[in-house]
């Protein structure tokens, strides 16, 4: 059996982090077994579709390094891969279930359904459709259809017993059939519902493994009943616990949580994002954290996916991104970081700009951060924060250090890093100070920051005249 997984997003905007995490698991599982990764667009909810969203999906998967084996742009005989282009297929299978007695036409109006909901609310019970249309005779159904009455097709659910969901992560789960609603399969506009389209498409596209959120575990019982009604083999399920935001709530683009493209535009590298998200809810057999895509595929083990929810942590994502920035060559880094660097560099040489950007390579967590880190290289007067002022006032020697260094700087005729380092060493010898009492006063007064790249490199880029002015 060739493993076939599918990623089936809705075209409703940028891909959010939780959704991408599921795609990563599906991709790693397929590639681990030399299988196929299929892209399917689930656009049954036409009202929520966002123009250009399909292009966003392709762009995201391409940036993440995913090879799409089949999809709307790469039909391998299982298409169409966009659900709105498969309406006739869903209609055929819905009518087949009606013929088998596993589904029925429902002609209830919105007013009737609202009345049922109100009665359920009054009894403090969840709303379940009462199945009244399932009791219509064939003659009554034909009469309504011939009259052009609006209808949906509902799945006929068993009302007693249990349905078993067999899951890689959670094992065998028993779902009480009494809580299963007679769900709508085909809507009045001819479009299928999400659940029905998934089952039809997964079967026809020969999907072997389905990875989806744990919150849909109850819905999977309905899937299984559909597979049984058709006499089809069920796929292998893996339900993954949700990714929580830093506030403890479920990550969602509706709640304004960051999407992949938000992170990408901020200067997070796609490989770092994929690496970080792959470890949200999955753990390798070793303590290794930084993986190439090939290493992720080789080490991925679906049985090690956690049952517990994982929490999105921006600090940890920054750490991963920092590791990937460090792995870049200087040339790769400069080509990348210049896309985010927006400072006005008129009057500065290309060599000066490159050196400035390079000295921050070891200090950078994400692309847009470069503008804040380099701010004081582009202003005349710097403002010290309270922590910096407190340090300068913590020991009388700090003023002696900056005064002595100013005198040493004034003696320099050739402004380069070697001579700047020599000037710092002269202060060390003259005053007998070292460590942070030597370096930090000079850095604070000259650059405005308490921490940063190599001090000599920083001072060289600020320039001799500016350094002297700030030391006064």
- Provide the annotated active-site residues: 253
Element (H, E) at 56: helix 53-63
For residues 131 and 251, what is the distance between their CA atoms, to the nearest angstrom?
35
For residues 180 and 158, what is the distance between their CA atoms, to the nearest angstrom?
8
For residues 118 and 126, what is the distance between their CA atoms, to the nearest angstrom?
10
Whether the link from the prior residue into 80 is cis, omega within 30° of 0, is: yes
Task: Report CA dihedral (224, 225, 231, 232) to the nearest 10 degrees.
Answer: -20
Element (H, E) at 153: strand 152-155
Residue whose C-alpha is closest to residue 343's, from 368, 363, 371: 371
**Residues linked to residue 211 through DSSP beta bridges, in sequence order:** 238
Contact assessment for residue 63 and residue 104, using Cβ atoms and an 8 Å cutoff: no
DSSP tag of 331? H
Structure tokens belonging to residue 197: 């389209």
Structure tokens belonging to residue 117: 């909901």
Q: In 318-354, which positions are buried (b, 16+ CB within 10 angstroms) versus exposed (e)?
A: bebbbebbeeeeeeebbeebeebbeeeeeeeeeeebe
For residues 57 and 15, what is the distance between their CA atoms, to the nearest angstrom?
7
Beta carbons within 8 Å of 346's beta carbon, 6+ residues apart: none
Q: In 414-429, which positions are buried (b, 16+ CB within 10 angstroms) versus exposed (e)?
A: eeebebbbebbeebbe
């Amino acid at each position: 059996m060739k493993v076939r997984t599918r990623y089936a997003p809705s075209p409703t905007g940028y891909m959010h982090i939780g959704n991408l995490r599921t795609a990563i698991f599906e991709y790693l599982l397929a590639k681990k077994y030399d299988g196929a990764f299929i892209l399917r667009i689930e656009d049954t909810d036409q009202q929520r579709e966002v123009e250009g969203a399909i292009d966003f999906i392709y762009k995201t998967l391409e940036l993440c390094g995913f090879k799409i084996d089949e999809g709307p742009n790469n039909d391998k005989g299982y298409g169409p891969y966009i659900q709105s282009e498969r309406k006739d297929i869903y209609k055929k299978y819905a009518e087949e279930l009606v013929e088998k007695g596993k589904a029925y036409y429902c002609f209830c109006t919105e007013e009737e359904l609202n009345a049922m909901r109100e009665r359920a609310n009054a009894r403090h019970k969840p709303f379940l459709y009462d199945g009244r249309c399932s009791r219509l005779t064939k003659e009554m159904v034909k009469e309504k259809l011939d009259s052009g009455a609006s209808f949906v097709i509902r799945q006929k659910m068993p009302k007693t017993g249990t349905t078993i969901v067999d899951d890689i992560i959670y094992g065998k789960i028993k779902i009480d059939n009494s809580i299963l609603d007679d769900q709508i399969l085909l809507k009045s506009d001819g479009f299928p519902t999400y659940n029905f389209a998934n089952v039809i498409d997964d079967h026809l596209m020969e999907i072997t493994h389905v990875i989806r959120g744990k919150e849909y575990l109850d819905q999977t019982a309905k899937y299984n009943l559909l597979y049984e009604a058709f006499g089809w083999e069920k796929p292998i399920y893996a339900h993954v616990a949700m990714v929580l935001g830093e506030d403890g709530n479920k990550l969602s683009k509706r709640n304004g949580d960051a999407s992949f493209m938000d992170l990408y535009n901020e200067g997070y590298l796609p490989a770092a994002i994929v690496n970080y998200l792959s470890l949200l809810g999955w753990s390798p057999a070793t303590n290794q954290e930084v993986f190439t895509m090939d290493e992720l595929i080789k080490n991925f083990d679906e049985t090690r996916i956690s049952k517990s929810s994982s929490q999105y942590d921006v600090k940890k994502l920054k750490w991963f991104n920092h590791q990937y920035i460090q792995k870049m060559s200087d040339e790769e880094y400069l080509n990348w970081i210049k896309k985010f660097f927006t400072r006005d560099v008129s009057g500065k040489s290309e060599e000066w700009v490159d050196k400035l950007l390079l000295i921050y390579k070891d200090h950078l967590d994400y692309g847009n951060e470069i503008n804040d880190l380099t701010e004081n290289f582009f202003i005349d007067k710097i403002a010290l924060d309270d922590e910096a002022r407190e340090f300068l006032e913590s020991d009388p020697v700090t003023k002696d250090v900056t005064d002595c260094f100013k005198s040493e700087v004034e003696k320099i005729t050739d402004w380069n890093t070697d001579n700047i380092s020599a000037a710092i060493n002269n202060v060390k010898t003259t005053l007998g100070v070292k460590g942070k009492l030597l370096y930090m006063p000079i850095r604070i007064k000259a650059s405005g920051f308490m921490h940063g790249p190599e001090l000599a490199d920083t001072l060289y880029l600020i320039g001799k005249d500016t350094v002297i002015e700030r030391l006064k």
